[in-house]
Every structure is written in structure tokens, then in C-alpha cells.
Structure 1
Amino acid sequence: MRRNLRKLVAVAGAAAMAFSLAACGSTNAGSSDSGSSDGGLKKVTFMLSWAPDTNHIGVYVAKNKGYFKDAGLDVDIVAVAQAGAEQAVNNGVADFALSNMTNTADYSLKGATIKQVMQVQQKPSAIWCALASNKSVKTPKDLDGKTFATFGSNESDAVVRRMIQFDGGKGQFDKVTAGTNTFQTLSSGKADFGGFYATWEGVQAEMYGPKLNCFTEPDYGVPGNADSIGIITSDKTIKNNPELVRKFVQASQKGYEYAYSNPDDAAKILVKEAPDANLKEEFVAKSMHTIVDGKYWGDPAKIKDGSFTLGTNDFTETQKYFDFLNESHTYTDAKGNPVNTAPKAKDVATNEFLGK
């Protein structure tokens, strides 16, 4: 699952802040059925999917700017559960969480009843990198026979294999389980390459090192958008309280729109609202500018003129990626048995709650 790639560098941070974040926000299990706060606001729980970063920033902005309060919501932002944000939403431990459509589809094949109700990221940001100091790696075909720092995801294996083969290689590589910091795993010589994200770890490498030599999926034959990051909720919450979903989605949407238009101020808000993450404002700001300049959340000009709505789930590009994963035989059911039919993007996401 795509979550495993993000965990390559985020596990340690998420674990370290788990207690402090949970302590400052109550986990209202199934709070769509719970009461109101003392101020008459509806209590809602939003679960992080890893450590706080710019993928979550719109929710932090919405809370800081009062968008949730204006919608009658009292939102607690809580640390990711050990079982994962998707399972927490499916079980009613959290009302909403950050995830992506790829994970939503995968969990649905295993019996979960969850949907993505808002897609923030509209293009892939995953990068597959070796240290720049490793002169033996110039293009993906040079990864043949090298060692991949991984969490064992079939999905990541399929992506790397396709990129190597597209570049003329065989697609054969060794694997080692990544530590809590993939940079360290590469620097120690235990692995030759690993997965990162251009909008976060790529910025980290650029600003602080170590320098990386990276390859992107669209350039080497991987179709569609693997990184359809967005907000999920449960089918139960959608059925029982659609107005709650609408309010949360549209307030979050407003937060992401503000962050996209005001990246520097949004960076300040994230640093302030997530103090336990120990984020540097200059780093967060650079990440946000990378997102804006790369048009990762959509074309700002089209958002401004109304021809594109930020938060729209893209069923076309995600379906292309689902089909690729199915062709690569990565899907399994809850018992680990192979599933040979690609999930349908339109079954695991909806745009009905977005503001226009």
C-alpha cells in the first residue's frame, strides 16, 4: 500500500508524537453519533495518516482560521493509530482521516467500508532515489541487482520493477527492510535506493542533504496517479450523517484553498498548530512552495477562474493506476488470497460533498 512508502521516513515521528497529540485531543469513537462540546459544537475526530506535514496542512489551517468552528464543528486532530488511519475510520475510532484513493481501494477489497470524500493531490509526487554520491546509478535500469530499502509492499515492488524495465533493465533487485529513516539506510550502505516524496523528503534533501539522484514514475512507464492523497470517512458516517460530512469536507476544502493561495502563512500555522512535530518554518514553507509551483493540488489559475474545484476526486488517473496494480498482481483479499479484478475508483470515492 502507498502508506508504506510514506512510512519510510514518518514512522519515527508519528510514534514519538503519538502520546502528546492524543493527550491534547480526545478520540471520540464514532463521534458522528456523539454529543456536542460545551460550546454547542459537534465533536469530530480527524486522524493523521503519518506525522504532520503539508499533506495535512489544510485541516490545520481550517482549525486555526475557525472554518470548522464556523461550520459548527469542534475538530480534534489526533495521531495515527497503530492499525492505520484507514482501519480507524472503518472501525469508527475516527470520523475522518488523511489517506489516499489507492489505500481506500485496497482496504475495500479486504472488507472495509470507507470512501474518499476529497482528493487534495492531483499528480504523483513519489520519487525513487539513490544517493547522488552513488555514481553507479544514473537511470532506473542501473537499479537492477541493487538493494531496495522497503517495507515489503507489493505495490512498491511493482512500481520499481516497471520503472527499471521501462528503462531497459530486467527489473530484478534485492530488498532490505528500511529503518525509521531511509536516508540513514542508504547512507549506511545497507541499501542502494528507496522511495521518497518530492514535496517533503525531496525538499529535505535539497535543503539539508544528503543529495539524491531521483526518478519519477510518469517518466518511466507507471500510469496514472498513485498519490491521490485526500480525506476519507466511513460509509456509515456518510449514510447516517451526510451533513456532517459536507460541513467537514467544505471547511477542509477552504483550509486547503487558503494554504494553496497563502503558502507562507499556512506554513506558520502548521508549525504553530503541531508543535510536537518540531517542524522548521523555512522547511514547511519550501514544501508548500514546491506544491504550489508543481501544481500538485491542481492548476492555481483554473482554481481561481472556477474551471477546477480544489479537492475533486479524479477517477480517471486513479483508475489507470488501479489497473496497473491489477496487471502486476498486487491485490489480495483479507485472507491474503489473490484478487484478479481491479477495484473501481468510482466505487471508493465521491465528489458529492465538495463545495463549488
Structure 2
Amino acid sequence: MRRGSGGAISSGRKGEQRPPDGGPASRPRWAKILIVVGVALAVLAGLSLGGLKLLSERLNDALQKADLLDSGARSGNGELHGPLNYLLIGSDQRDANPTMGHRADSIVIVNIPAGLDRAYLISIPRDLRVAIPPWPASNYKGGQDKINAAFQYGGADGAKLLSATVTNLTGVRFDGAAIVDFTGFKRVVDLLGGVDVCVDRQVTSIHTGHVFPVGCYRMDGAKSLDYARQRYGLPRGDYDRQRHQQQILKGIAKKLTDPTVLANPIKLDQTVRAIGATMTVDTNGVPLNDLVISFRNMRAENVYGIRIPSTGARIDGTSYNVLTPDADLLFKAVREGDVAAWAAANPKWVLSI
């Protein structure tokens, strides 16, 4: 099944009328995934083979494991021969107010070509209008909605319903999946002693009111992620925001590859465990140690962000994102393992991080 039409239209949360990603009230959700991946790659790049094995042991202890993929969305390979595709989900579950439910704050397809030395992080707008299939386990009847609503409609199997929805949309099956809880990620930055960022234009946070003056200085976890969220008052809006996210990513990578951090087993262990505590993973039966070793040649500079071609639309009073024709060619490239060619032909949708 591909993109459906018809069916009931509702929002991810009752009464919600927020603009789609790229609209006035959107936030840089998928870029948080880029930061997480960049941190992981920075660690891989800085460790020896023995260190990688130790890292995988520590991660294996810290990570939560779960069955996250629907059977129809799961690849039958169970092997590490590229191209590989993984589904990353950023959760915005609100511990302080669980009655509000949980939705997929970020949805990213990670495509890794055959050489296993590059990665394309393909972001799906959370407000993308799609057909969500029925899910009898939670009594959901199916229908047209924002894609992030699938995570909520699936109930205890939210990740499975979301994976089924993404596979129906794109035709892509997955070699694994992970859910990232961003509420604990600020601790990672704080464990590193903050990150160094150069601000070239004053930014005022619309969320906290904090002013980021021009200059180079160190930001703690809360301020760095607050800075990465801002786009109001910037001359290029979302593009400037993405550049700020790159700055944070590079700052984290620099701190992680600093010899004083790598040479401090206690600090490194604390950081790795903090990263692990933010994630629930489904490795499709592949031992975590094999995953870590297989991706040892990947570097943060070889990770590229791709935004799925889409545009804003208002349907029956609700704001959505809808796909443009370029998206079908992107999905075809992912399925056929030729994302590099698509990216070269469509540079406006590509962000080097």
C-alpha cells in the first residue's frame, strides 16, 4: 500500500491546529536525531578495536531492548551487508503529564550504503498526511492523519504501527529500529562539561527568554539544545536553525574525540551509559557488538541529512505536510540502494552535517 486517500481526518492530538514542519510554530525535531547519531559516530571514530568491544559491552548493559518493528516492516536479512535501513523514532512522551499521551516527535530513516562508511538520515515531517493502517490490538480503525499520530494510535505497539505506516508509505523495510528519549540527552552534554559554540548573530530563545549574545563560549546541555531549537528572528529562519544544530553536533563530536575524554574511562563510561539510557533498540537479531564493529569506519562528516520533499497544505482546517513528486524518486532510491545519486540530483533537500 502506498499513500492512501480518503478516510477520516484527525490531528495527532485533539484540538491541535499546529502548522506543519517548516511553518511558524515548528521545531527542529529531526535534527535532534542528527545530534544523537553524530555523538555515536564520534565515539566510534575515536576508539581502538579493543575500545569498541568495551563500548559495545557497556552499551549492551545500558540500552533497553524491545521488539519495535511490525513483521511487514522488518527486513528478513538479519545481516550486516549494506545497503541497510533503520528506523529512528524520537519520543516526546511527557512524564510530567502522561495523560497527554506520547507521539513520534521525530521520524528518521537511516540509510547506510553498501560500504557501511556513510549514512543518509532521511527525515519524515511529523505532520505528513498519510494513511495509517488499522491496528486491532488498540482498536484503531485506520484512516488519514498526521504520521506522528501512529505512535499514539498503536498504544503499547506504537512503534510497530508507526513502522508499518512508514513501510506502507515508502516501500522500505527495516534492519532495525530505535526510540530515543530526548529528555535525558541534556545529561550527555553536561557530562562532557558543555560544548563550545560560536554565535555569529544574537539569538533570543522564544522558549526560555535566554539571550545568546554574539561570541564564542561554552553552553551546558539545556542551553545548547535550547539554542539548537531557535529560528525566530534569524534572517534565513529554518536554514539558520539547521546551521546552529550543526554547530552543536560538531561541538559534541569535538568534545567526545578530545584525548582527555577518551583517556578518562570513568567519564567515557558515564557518557556512554547516559547515551544508552536514552534509547530503546531493536537490532533485528544482530548482536550489538557486531553492529558497533561494522560501523567503525563511519565518520560524522560522512553523515548527510535529507528532508523528504514536501510542502505545507491546509485540509479541512488542519495544517499538514504533503509529499511532492520528488519524494517517490527518493523512496525508490532508498529501496534500490542509490540514495547518493538522488542526493546529487536534488541538493536542495540535502544537508551536510
Write 1 or 2 for the structure with the bigger share of strand: 2
Write 1 or 2 for the structure with the bigger share of helix: 1
> TM-score scaled by structure 1?
0.26
> TM-score scaled by structure 2?
0.27
